[in-house]
Structure 1
Amino acid sequence: MAASALLNKPWRELRWGERQKELQYVQEYKPENPEIRNLRALLFGHVGAGKSSFINSVSNVLRGRMTMPALASAMTSDTSFTRKYETHTFMKGRGSSKTFFPVVFNDIMGLEDGETRGVHAKDIVHAFKGNVKEGHKFNPVGPLEPDDFGYNPTPSADDKVHVLVCVMSANTPQINSSLLKKMSEVRQKASELGIPQMAMMTHIDAACGEIQKDLKNVYRSRHLQKKMKDFSAALGIPLNCIFPVKNYSEEIDMNNEVDILILSALRKIIDFGDDFIEKMETE
């Protein structure tokens, strides 16, 4: 007899009824280091992983309505939709009372198969150190050099990346060796700089019919659990640092379950990034 697609009990607990508490945690966060206005998270991953869509989804959750701060492609393509280095901020309030959350995301050109396609691993390292100027257009043929216009030679503590977030689609059959090598190289450089790392698994509803039926099945899905374990083993990111999320895509109204998964990941981004900021203060 075939095993059920669902586990009897969820293998990770999630408090589905605590959306407001999780949201409040994010709303009240502020870096204590006076040199840093914003906690900066860098999102990287393969083409089509859903990086830009995640940025939009976070904006939706924080503003309580549909927004679109990052252009995202709905088309299936093997070419990155993101071409330049851009800082995405999250607004709160309206009109004269408008302010911004002290958490920003940088989306970077997707990793692609081949040496002359997608973002160079060296450019991601430049971003780690704050050496990439806002609006710099990535060149798949060659990485950014110190004498290029897009190079920032004097980065502040605020320009540097405080947490690295690897984004992976659960609907991708497998990561090919070329991409895995690039991702491992990026992680190694982040480790050398002491930058904390975590991962998000997107498109979980497309990967598993049981999750598509009910998002609360996310931690009961055998298929997704195996996907996350395989990804953890392939890239070396601990399982407790990998978070499944569903981006807002076809919805036109807010959804509590979608919000909870996004807030769960966002809280860990803040926690990991803030730990690094505290460490920067003592160095």
Structure 2
Amino acid sequence: MISTLKSFKISGDNVRELRFLLHGPVGAGKSSIINTIKSIFEEHQYINCLTASDLTGESFTTKYEKYNVGNVPFTFYDVMGLEKGQSKGVHTNDVINALKGHISKDYTFKPLDPIDEANVFYIPNPTLNDQIHCLVSVIPADKISMMDDKILQKMKEIRAAASTLGIPQVVFMTRVDKVCEMTEKDITKLYQSRKIKEKCSNRLGVTMNCIFPVKNYSEETKANEKLNCLMLEALTQIVHSANDFVKKYSNQLKKE
């Protein structure tokens, strides 16, 4: 899988990289997913992307961060975590503007003051290359039942905007090894676990084939092939979804 991804060619004119935006509640594992993917492609444990602490419940991500992955044409964007209420966490309008390509990297999120056209980081006329090509919702498997309804509503608003824009969207379900004893002992039994499947509930509003259970590097200090394969399977799916989006809209631009 990794060799196929390393030689992947984008099916869209003037699109240099496929862009993925990760969003979700604080502590869901957005930054850890980026760490894990970079560790796989760069062949060493990547720990430069700070992650939220379960103890503080606060997001380390305060800026619109861009992360390239090795020599492959994939770029991941990380945003501030979603929180209940309007005074904390990323504003939904900021995430939606990021989807449209209106926000450049290093923009600082302000929960009560989303970006507008007067902001120096605002891109007024984004190209297809500026836009996000796939939205990845990140949700911790062991906390789905405890997630606040207000956070879920924010995620639904963002996903609805992505649907309007035609942007493909998937769910990466993290912390799957924390859900049941079977997967904790052997991550390869993930798809056999009934408890994991039960987590794909109607609360998410996402069909089963769009939900990808993954495990991030956390305590591991050496490469884990089982973990890598799980992440690479999910990555392969979103790469093809993003590429289909780019191909479709690139062809439409040619006709205009």
- Residues in 2 aligned to 1:221 and 1:197: alpha-carbon distance in whole angstroms: 24
Please say if 1:274 is aligned against 2:243: yes
Given that 1:82 and 1:107 are in contact with CA atoms closer than 8 Å, whether structure 2 keeps it comes out as: yes
Partner of 1:202: 174
- 1:219 deviates by 1.1
Equivalent position amino acid for 2:163 in 1: S
> Any conservation in 1 of the 2:51–2:59 contact (CA below 8 Å)?
no
Matched ranges for 1:111-190 at <5 A? 111-172=82-143, 173-190=145-162
Q: Which structure ranks higher in relative contact order (CA pairs < 8 Å, sequence separation ≥ 6)?
A: 1
Aligned to 2:203: 234
Unmatched 5+ residue regions in structure 2?
none
The answer to whether 1:221 aligns with 2:193 is yes
Gaps of at least 5 residues in structure 1 are 1-21, 92-99
1:43 aligns to what? 22
Matched, 1:34 2:13: yes
**Stretch of structure 1 that moved more, 188-197 or 68-77:** 68-77
The one of 212, 233, 249 aligned to 1:243: 212
Moved more, 104-113 or 209-218: 209-218
Distance 2:49 2:141 in 1: 21
State whether residues 142 and 178 of structure 2, in contact with CA within 8 Å, keep that contact through their aligned partners in structure 1: yes
Alignment of 1:59 with 2:38, yes or no, is yes
Question: Is the contact between residue 60 and residue 66 of structure 1 (CA under 8 Å) also seen in structure 2?
Answer: yes
Q: Which amino acid aligns with 2:222?
A: D
State the alpha-carbon separation in 2 of the partners of residues 272 and 236 from structure 1. Answer: 19
- Deviation, 1:237, is 1.3
For the residues of structure 1 that align with 2:167 and 2:205, how far apart are their CA atoms? 15
Code of the residue aligned with 2:30 in structure 1: it is: K
Deviation at 1:68, TM superposition (A): 2.7
Larger-gyration structure (1/2): 1
Look up the equivalent residue of 1:212 and give its one-letter code: E
Deviations 1:162-182 (A, max 9, x none): 000000001214322101110
